[in-house]
Amino acid sequence: MIRAALALVSASILAYEVLLIRLFSIVQWHHFTYMVISIALLGFGASGTFLALTRDWLLPRFAAAFAVSAALFGLTAFLGYVAGQSLPFNAPALIWEPRQLLFLLGLYVIFLVPFFFGATCIGLSFLHYRGRIGRIYAVNLIGSAAGSIGIVALLFLLDPVPALMLVASLALLGALLAVPRIEGSRSRGFAATLCLGILAVVLAMPSTWSDPHPSPYKALPRALEVPGTHVVDTHSNPLGYLSVIESREVPLRHAPGLSLNNTQSPPAQLGIFTDADALSVITAFDGDLAPLAYLDFTTSALPYHLLNGPSVLVVGAGGGAPVLQAIYHEATTVDALEVNPDLISLMRDHHRDFAGGLYDRPEVQAHAREVRSFLAQSDERWDLIQLSLLDGGSGGGGSLGENHLFTVEAFQDYVRHLRPGGLVAITGWVQLPPRESLKLFATALEALRREGVTEPARRLALIRGWSTATLLIKNSNITTSDSGDIRGFAEARSFDIAFLDDVKAEEVNRFNRMAEPFLYQGAVALAGEGAAEFMARYKFDIAPAGDDRPYFHDFFKWRSLPEFLERSARAAGFLEWGYPILAATLIQALPLSLILILLPLWLWHQRGVGGDGKVRNFLYFAALGLGFLFIEIAFIQRFILFLGNPLYAAAVVITGFLFFAGLGSALSTRMGAQTPDDARPAPLATRRSAVVLSTSLIAAMSVAYLFALPMVFERLIILSELARIAVSLILIAPLAFCMGLPFPLGLAELSEARPRLVPWAWGLNGCASVMGAVLAQVLAIHFGLNAVVLVAALVYILAAVAFSWPATSSRPAT
Amino acid sequence: MPRLLLLSTAILMFALACPLTAQARDDFAAKRQRMIEVIERYAWSLEAELGARQMDARVLEVMGALPRHLFVPEDRRGEAYADRPVPIGYGQTISQPLIVAFMTHLLELEPDDVVLELGTGSGYQAGVLAELVHKVCSIEIVPGLGERAADVLDDLSLDNVETRIGDGYYGWPECGPFDAIIVTAAAGHIPPPLVAQLKPGGKMIIPVGSPYVTQQLVLIDKLADGRVTTRQVLAVRFVPLVREAR
pLDDT values of chain B reduced to their tens digit, one per residue, 246 residues:
455 555 555 555 555 555 555 566 668 999 999 999 988 888 776 766 777 668 899 999 999 999 999 999 999 999 999 988 899 999 899 998 988 999 999 999 999 999 999 999 999 999 999 999 999 999 999 999 999 999 999 999 999 999 999 998 899 999 989 999 999 865 567 888 899 999 999 999 998 877 777 778 899 999 998 889 999 887 665 555 544 433
Q: What is the dihedral of CA A193, A199, A201, A205, to 10 degrees?
A: -170
**How far is residue A625's CA from residue A614's CA, in Å, rounded to a whole number?**
16
Q: What is the DSSP letter of A497?
A: E
To the nearest whole angstrom, how far is the Cα of B172 from the nearest Cα of chain A? 15
Who contacts B10 (Cβ-Cβ below 8 Å, separation ≥6)?
A: none
CA–centroid distance for B213 within its chain: 15
Q: What is the dihedral of CA A389, A394, A397, A403, to 10 degrees?
A: -40
Does residue A37 contact residue A216 with C-beta atoms inside 8 Å?
no
Considering only residues 572 to 601 of chain A, which have any Cβ-Cβ distance to chain B shorter than 8 Å?
572-574
Can you list the pairs that A580-584 forms with residues at least 24 positions away whose Cβ atoms lie under 8 Å?
A: A580/A556, A581/A31, A581/A32, A581/A34, A581/A35, A582/A34, A582/A35, A582/A774, A582/A777, A582/A778, A582/A781, A583/A778, A584/A35
Does residue A246 contact residue A223 with C-beta atoms inside 8 Å?
no
**How far is residue A198's CA from residue A430's CA, in Å, rounded to a whole number?**
52
Active site residues of B: 95
Does residue A459 contact residue A448 with C-beta atoms inside 8 Å?
yes
Amino acid letter, residue B22: A
Does residue B93 contact residue B212 with C-beta atoms inside 8 Å?
yes
- DSSP 3-state of A347: helix
Bridging pattern class, strands A364-367 and A333-337? parallel
Alpha carbon of B39 to those of A166, B54, B128, B182: distances in Å?
55, 10, 15, 20
CA angle B221–B214–A276, rounded 5-degree value: 115
Does residue A463 contact residue A486 with C-beta atoms inside 8 Å?
yes
Whole-model pTM?
0.90
DSSP assignment of chain B: -HHHHHHHHHHHHHHHHHHHHHHHHHHHHHHHHHHHHHHHHHHGGGHHHHTSSS--HHHHHHHHHS-GGGGS-GGGGGGTTSSS-EEEETTEEEPPHHHHHHHHHHTT--TT-EEEEE--TTSHHHHHHHTTSSEEEEEESSHHHHHHHHHHHHHTT-TTEEEEES--TT--TTT--EEEEEESS--SS--HHHHHHEEEEEEEEEEEE-SS-EEEEEEEEE-TTS-EEEEEEESS----SSGGG-
Q: What is the per-residue pLDDT across A496-531, written as a single tens digit (0 to 9) for each?
A: 999 999 999 889 999 999 888 999 999 999 999 999
Q: B244 vs A537: CB contact, 8 Å cut-off?
A: yes
Give chain B positions within 8 Å (CB) of A466. 190, 218, 220, 230, 232
Average of per-residue pLDDT across A769-791: 91
Give chain A positions within 8 Å (CB) of B227. 494
Does residue A619 contact residue A67 with C-beta atoms inside 8 Å?
no
**How far is residue A681's CA from residue A683's CA, in Å, rounded to a whole number?**
6
**A221, A433, A510 member nearest B241 (Cβ):** A433
Q: What is the dihedral of CA B121, B72, A98, A102, to 10 degrees?
A: -90
Question: Of the ranges A329-343, A614-628, B231-245, which one carries the lowest mean pLDDT score?
Answer: B231-245
Average of per-residue pLDDT across A641-659: 89
**How far is residue A10's CA from residue A120's CA, in Å, rounded to a whole number?**
11
pLDDT of residue A432: 82
To the nearest whole angstrom, how far is the Cα of A525 from the nearest Cα of chain B? 8
**Minimum Cα–Cα distance from B92: chain A residue:** A217
pLDDT at A704 > cutoff 90: yes
**Minimum Cα–Cα distance from A531: chain B residue:** B245
Question: What's phi and psi for B94, nearest 5 deg?
Answer: -85, 130
Q: What is the per-residue pLDDT across A141-196, written as a single tens digit (0 to 9) for each?
A: 999 999 999 999 999 999 999 999 999 999 999 999 999 888 888 889 988 998 99
Q: What is the DSSP letter of A98?
A: T
**Minimum Cα–Cα distance from B229: chain A residue:** A511
Structure ipTM over 0.90, yes or no: no
pLDDT of residue A304: 98
Q: Give just the sign of the alpha carbon dihedral A791, A792, A795, A801.
A: negative
Q: What is the per-residue pLDDT across A783-810, written as a single tens digit (0 to 9) for each?
A: 999 999 999 999 999 999 998 876 554 4
- In DSSP terms, A314 is beta-bridged to A336, A386
Helices (H), A93-211: 99-128, 133-157, 160-178, 185-204, 207-210
Nearest to A426 by CA among A315, A311, A586, A563: A315
Q: What is the per-residue pLDDT across A553-584, written as a single tens digit (0 to 9) for each?
A: 888 888 887 777 766 556 555 566 778 788 88
Nearest to B67 by CA among B25, B39, B21: B25
pLDDT of residue A750: 85
Q: B215 vs A573: CB contact, 8 Å cut-off?
A: yes
To the nearest whole angstrom, how far is the Cα of A565 from the nearest Cα of chain B? 12
Does residue A219 contact residue A281 with C-beta atoms inside 8 Å?
no
The 3-class SS string of A561-577 reads: HHHHHHCHHHHHHHCCC
Interface test with A, best of B41, B212, B223, B231 (most A CBs within 10 A): B212
Who contacts A556 (Cβ-Cβ below 8 Å, separation ≥6)?
A: A540, A541, A575, A576, A578, A579, A580
**How far is residue B242's CA from residue B246's CA, in Å, rounded to a whole number?**
7
Question: What's phi and psi for B233, nearest 5 deg?
Answer: -125, 135
Nearest to A629 by CA among A127, A44, A8: A44
**Minimum Cα–Cα distance from A256: chain B residue:** B188
Nearest to A663 by CA among A756, A576, A734, A759: A734
Give chain A's end-to-end CA distance (angstroms, integer): 29
**How far is residue A137's CA from residue A134's CA, in Å, rounded to a whole number?**
5
- DSSP 3-state of A678: coil
To the nearest whole angstrom, how far is the Cα of A376 from the nearest Cα of chain B? 35
Amino acid letter, residue B25: R
Does residue A302 contact residue A327 with C-beta atoms inside 8 Å?
no
Does residue A739 contact residue A772 with C-beta atoms inside 8 Å?
no
Amino acid letter, residue A664: G
Nearest to A284 by CA among A224, A332, A351, A349: A351
Considering only residues 418 to 477 of chain A, which have any Cβ-Cβ distance to chain B shorter than 8 Å?
430-434, 466-467
Q: B213 vs A92: CB contact, 8 Å cut-off?
A: yes
pLDDT at A420 > cutoff 90: yes
Q: B142 vs A226: CB contact, 8 Å cut-off?
A: yes
* pLDDT band at A391; cut points 50, 70, 90: low
Who contacts A188 (Cβ-Cβ below 8 Å, separation ≥6)?
A: A179, A180, A182
